[in-house]
Amino acid sequence: MSKGRLLSGMQPTGLLHLGNLEGALANWVKLQDEYEAFYFVADWHALTTMLDRTELIAKYRREVATDFLAAGLDPEKCAIFVQSDVKEHAELHLLLSMSTPVGWLERVPTFKEKKEQLHLETVSYGLMGYPVLMTADILMYKADVVPVGQDQLPHLELSREIGRRFNNIYGEIFPDCKGMLTKYAAMPGLDGRKMSKSYGNAIYLCDSPEETIEKVRTMFTDPLKIRKDDPGHPGGCAVYAMMDVYGQADMHDDCEAGKIGCMQCKKRLANFLNGRLAPIRERRNELVQHPERLDEILAAGAEKARKVAKVTMEEVREAMHF
Ligand code: SF4
């Protein structure tokens, strides 16, 4: 029996951190064995927020692809590619945009949020059309499943609608894609808020062991626990929350009873993280030393993706009499 097809991507808007690793990448690594998987660096999508910083998109395109591989994606098992290397995505985006009502795009909750977040006076056509490009990414590979976070579910529902509308006009070309909700505890950042590159509270996959120790040293803990024997409150402590994500938070009672100090806890967490990140760093360093290897992997991934994309586009063009 052939494996189902799976597709997922990440925007190259910054370095990848522990939240990206445990929230998505670790799951992708498992899924590459169960599915015919396509993982891509969504560089055209990054233009919606980094239009005037394209040199950074170029930098992060490579960094994110490096992090994919460092996290354990295996180019022998899955296709790893850059979206803009497969031009068919742009063509399908254009064709789907013709049959997508503007009203559907205006209603997307993340569109409204982004508009406010970015303080945009004028909204670009590309920002509003973001879900159409995402639909093109998914439908191109006729993906059976798309691993998504809760916040992406409305986008996926819209993708289904866009695909159905296209099918209604031109015939059954695209299957209904299913979302695969990734369940994970949100990774807290150094300050206790959600880990995010925009908050400056992240531990990156490319951080050295020393940088990790130093970052953990600055993490937010219970401000009332000054000495080791002060009774603490693990509830609001970022160190405790991060240990909890990793199933390592067994210090609850000792913290409350003042039997353990914050420095001790932080040392444990830093050691744990450095152990978790050691194989990832090793693969990362290896790739950084041989940049031509990354070029080869991305070229082979794009080739694999294009093979599928070409077949889909031939079908689409024929159905549309182009
Ligand atoms: S002892 Fe540990 S769990 Fe308690 S506040 Fe300090 S770092 Fe947090």
114 is catalytic: yes
Please tell me the predicted confidence (pLDDT) of residue 112: 76
Does 113 reside within a domain?
A: yes
Ligand 1 atom closest to 243 (CA): 3
304 labelled catalytic: no
| Residue 167 sits in the same domain as residue 311 | yes
Beta bridge partners of 39: 8, 80
User: Is 190 inside any structural domain?
Assistant: no
Residue-level pLDDT, tens digit, the chain, 322 residues: 678 999 999 999 999 999 999 999 999 999 999 999 999 999 999 999 899 999 999 999 999 999 999 999 999 999 999 999 999 999 999 999 999 999 999 888 877 777 777 766 778 899 999 999 999 999 999 999 999 888 788 889 999 999 999 999 999 999 998 888 877 778 999 999 999 988 999 999 999 999 999 999 999 999 999 999 999 999 999 999 999 999 999 999 999 999 999 999 999 999 999 999 999 999 999 999 999 999 999 999 999 999 999 999 999 999 999 9
Q: Which residues line ligand 1 (CB under 6 A)?
A: 221-222, 225, 232, 234, 237, 239-240, 251, 255, 260, 262, 265
Q: Which of 226, 243, 244, 265 to mutate to test the pocket of ligand 1 (most atoms within 8 A of CB)?
A: 265
Whether residues 268 and 296 share a domain: the answer is no
Would 249 be classed as within a structural domain? Answer: yes
| Distance (Å, whole) CA 39 – CA 41 | 7
For residue 125, CA distances in Å to 52, 129, 281 come to: 16, 6, 39
215 is known as an active-site residue: no
Active site residue: 77, 114, 259, 267, which one? 114
Residue 267 lies in a domain: yes
Q: By three-state DSSP, how is residue 206 classified? A: coil
How far does the centroid of ligand 1 lie from the alpha carbon of residue 13, in Å?
A: 33
Q: Can you tell me the distance from the alpha carbon of 98 to that of 51, in angstroms, rounded to the nearest whole number?
A: 24
Distance 111 CA to ligand 1 centre (A): 39
309-to-169, 247, 257, 304 alpha-carbon distances in Å: 21, 41, 60, 9
Q: Which domain holds residue 139?
A: 5-185+291-319
Report the domain count for the chain: 2
Whether 103 and 246 map to the same domain: the answer is no
Is 57 among the domain residues?
A: yes
Residue 201 lies in a domain: no
| DSSP three-state, residue 223 | coil
Cα 186 from Cα 202, distance rounded (Å) = 13
Please tell me whether residues 222 and 250 are part of one structural domain: yes
Query: Cα separations (Å) of 282 from 292, 295, 315?
Result: 17, 19, 43
Q: Is 199 a member of any domain?
A: no
Determine the distance separating the centroid of ligand 1 and the alpha carbon of 274, expressed in angstroms: 19
d(CA 142, CA 280): 31
CATH number, position 244 = 1.10.240.10
Q: How far is the CA of 241 from the centre of ligand 1 (A)?
A: 10
pLDDT of residue 1: 60
Q: What is the separation of C-alpha 72 from the centre of its chain, rounded to a whole number of angstroms?
A: 14
Q: pLDDT value at position 49?
A: 87
Name the DSSP class of 319. H
Which residue of 217, 222, 267 sits with most ligand 1 atoms within 8 Å of its CB, as the best mutation to test the pocket?
222
Predicted local confidence at residue 251, as pLDDT = 93
Residue whose structure tokens are 């290397």: 85
Give Cα 187 to chain centroid, integer Å: 13
How far, in Å, from the CA of 220 to the mean position of ligand 1?
Answer: 9
Q: Which residue's CA is minimally distant from atom 6 of ligand 1?
A: 262
Break the chain down into helix, strand, coil percent, rounded to 5.
60, 10, 30
Question: Do 233 and 251 belong together in one domain?
Answer: yes
Given 59, 77, 115, 197, the catalytic residue: 197
| From 194, 228, 307, 310, active-site residue | 194
User: From residue 105, how far is each of 97, 116, 161, 245 by CA, in Å?
Assistant: 10, 16, 11, 35
Q: Is 41 helix (H, G, I), strand (E, B) or coil?
A: strand
